[in-house]
């Protein structure tokens, strides 16, 4: 924080002095909280492109430099040296765990992996064609019905956090099993977090299944890369819903729904659909890029561009390498990877993409990896939700523990009709 100020001169010549806030990485903001009270003016910022909704100590992101850090640790270090459970602990608690803290956290996650048996009836009620994001969000909302103490703001936050982190993986795997008509596979306490999820996804009761270590490692890395991304659309939604005092399950479920959109977490599914359609039409990446540039067919290059990154997304860099490693180790030759690399090469040399600073984002390569792991396309966004869970929880927790939190309630500039007389229906003209 600082003693610096900024001055705003309004059309009537009135000057308003506003405090300047500086973050630990030297980011500057004009604090406009007193602006309306002092001047009657509000700020207008569609899409919140210039609006800081909060201060936060969780994630630092520099889109110009392509830097991403969770609680001060670089994403590159965490993806290489850590695992998803440890990173979840870090995001939620602000520090890396000691051996004892890690042990306790893992044990809690293991103990809370089952879902209430009655919730199994819900899975039976959905048609097999249901999108698993619909099932996941509804199930997470339903958890507040099974744990009604969550409606009390003073209830045990740590317990709800553990339940969410642990059960969401069981729900996701059950939604998949239901969609393919296979029996549900219960969690297995001897397995670690990611291996347990993969076991629930791919095991069947009729034969033994051992989780391939390469898949467990890849999943850990994928989930770490998705674990937080500061004030994105879904995280802001979690904070907004949570600011009303709604319970944590409701707030997280709303984040899942915000993530579903193709401009956000749904982009990983959209990337594969785009690559498939390019392949179907002969694999001409150049023609597709030309169509995108000339806005023919209304297509964007999915998996490219980002509201904040105006440089190569550091997560995409890690994923591109992972894609090569995992596909090679699994002996998979996926033509989608060649098309994706071809698209990237063309786009990165093209003036349209260079001038608009459009680079591959986290979703450009993640779908190819998920395919190689045997995860079906409509589960991709669910995988993103699994990864983002600790980030959403960390932001929800930070918000409820911040004494300055107020209910989220933006203002607007009204552009509709001015007052007019009400006419009886028989006197109205078309």
Chain residues binding ligand ACO by CB under 6 A are 47, 263-265, 267, 292, 300-307, 356, 358, 361-363
- Smaller CB distance to ligand ACO: residue 216 or 350? 350
Tokens of 11: 């059309």
Supply the minimum distance, in Å, between the C-beta of residue 305 and ligand ACO.
2
Shortest Cβ contact with ligand ACO: which residue?
Answer: 305
Are 173 and 167 in contact by the 8 Å Cβ rule? The answer is no
- Smaller CB distance to ligand ACO: residue 290 or 325? 290
- Smaller CB distance to ligand ACO: residue 303 or 390? 303
Are 197 and 386 in contact by the 8 Å Cβ rule? The answer is yes
Supply the minimum distance, in Å, between the C-beta of residue 239 and ligand ACO.
16
Supply the minimum distance, in Å, between the C-beta of residue 362 and ligand ACO.
5
Supply the minimum distance, in Å, between the C-beta of residue 382 and ligand ACO.
14
Supply the minimum distance, in Å, between the C-beta of residue 292 and ligand ACO.
5
Catalytic residue status for 363: yes
SS3 of the chain: the string is CCCCEEEEECCCCCEEEEEEEECCCCCEEECCCCHHHHHCCCCCCHHHCCCCCCCCCCEEEECCCCEEEECCEEHHHHHHHCCHHHHHHHHHHCCCCCHHHHHHHHHHHHHCCCCCHHHHHHHHHCCCCCCHHHHHHHHHHHHHHHCHHHHCCCCCHHHHHHHHHHHHHHHHHHHHHHHCCCCCCCCCCCCCHHHHHHHHHHCECCECCCCCHHHHHHHHHHHHHHCCCCCCHHHHHHHHHHHCCCCHHHHHHHHHHHHCCCCCCCHHHHHHHHHHHHHHCCCCHHHHHHHHHCCCCCCCCCCECCCCCCCCCHHHHHHHHHHHHHHHHHCCCCHHHHHHHHHHHHHHCCHHHHHCCCCECCHHHHHHHHHHCCCCHHHHHHHHHHHHHHHHHHHHHHHHHCCCCCCCCCCCCCCCCCCCCCCCHHHCCC
- Smaller CB distance to ligand ACO: residue 203 or 343? 343
Supply the minimum distance, in Å, between the C-beta of residue 264 and ligand ACO.
4
- Smaller CB distance to ligand ACO: residue 185 or 316? 316
Among residues 306, 313, 350, 395, the one annotated as catalytic is 306
Catalytic residue status for 306: yes
Among residues 228, 313, 350, 363, the one annotated as catalytic is 363
- Smaller CB distance to ligand ACO: residue 140 or 292? 292
- Smaller CB distance to ligand ACO: residue 289 or 394? 289
Supply the minimum distance, in Å, between the C-beta of residue 281 and ligand ACO.
18
Catalytic residues: 306, 363
């Amino acid at each position: 924080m600082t003693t610096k100020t900024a001055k705003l001169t309004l059309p009537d010549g009135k000057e308003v002095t506003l405090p300047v806030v500086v973050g630990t990485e030297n980011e500057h903001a004009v604090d406009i909280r007193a602006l309306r009270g002092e001047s009657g003016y509000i700020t207008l910022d569609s899409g919140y492109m210039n609006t800081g909704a909060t201060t936060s100590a969780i994630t630092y992101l520099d889109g110009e430099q392509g830097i991403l850090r969770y609680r001060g640790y670089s994403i590159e270090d965490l993806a290489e040296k850590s695992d998803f459970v440890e990173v979840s602990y870090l995001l939620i608690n602000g520090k890396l765990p000691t051996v004892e803290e890690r042990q306790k956290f893992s044990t809690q996650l293991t103990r809370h992996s089952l879902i209430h048996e009655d919730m199994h009836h819900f899975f039976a009620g959905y048609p097999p064609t249901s999108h698993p994001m619909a099932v996941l969000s509804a199930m997470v909302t339903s958890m507040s019905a099974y744990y009604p103490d969550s409606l009390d703001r003073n209830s045990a936050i740590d317990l709800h956090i553990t339940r969410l982190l642990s059960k969401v993986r069981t729900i996701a795997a059950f939604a998949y099993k239901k969609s393919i008509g296979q029996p549900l596979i219960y969690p297995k306490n001897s397995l670690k977090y990611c291996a347990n999820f993969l076991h629930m996804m791919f095991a069947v009761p009729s034969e033994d299944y051992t989780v391939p270590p390469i898949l467990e490692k890849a999943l850990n890395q994928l989930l770490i890369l998705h674990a937080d991304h500061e004030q994105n659309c879904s995280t802001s939604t979690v904070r907004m819903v949570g600011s009303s005092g709604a319970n944590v399950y409701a707030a997280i479920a709303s984040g899942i729904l915000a993530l579903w959109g193709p401009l956000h977490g749904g982009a990983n599914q959209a990337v594969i659909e785009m690559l498939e359609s390019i392949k179907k039409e002969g694999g001409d990446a150049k023609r597709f890029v030309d169509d995108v540039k000339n806005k023919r067919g209304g297509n964007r290059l999915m998996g490219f561009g980002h509201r904040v990154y105006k440089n190569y997304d550091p997560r995409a860099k890690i994923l591109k390498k992972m894609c090569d490693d995992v596909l090679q180790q699994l002996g998979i030759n996926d033509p989608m990877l060649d098309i994706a690399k071809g698209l990237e090469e063309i786009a990165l040399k093209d003036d349209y993409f260079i001038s608009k600073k459009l680079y591959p984002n986290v979703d450009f390569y993640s779908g190819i990896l998920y395919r190689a792991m045997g995860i079906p396309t409509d589960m991709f966004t669910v995988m993103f939700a699994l990864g983002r869970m600790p980030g959403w929880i960390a932001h929800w927790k930070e918000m409820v523990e911040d004494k300055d939190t107020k209910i989220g309630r933006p203002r607007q500039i009204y552009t509709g009709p001015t007052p007019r007389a009400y006419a009886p229906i028989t006197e109205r003209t078309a």
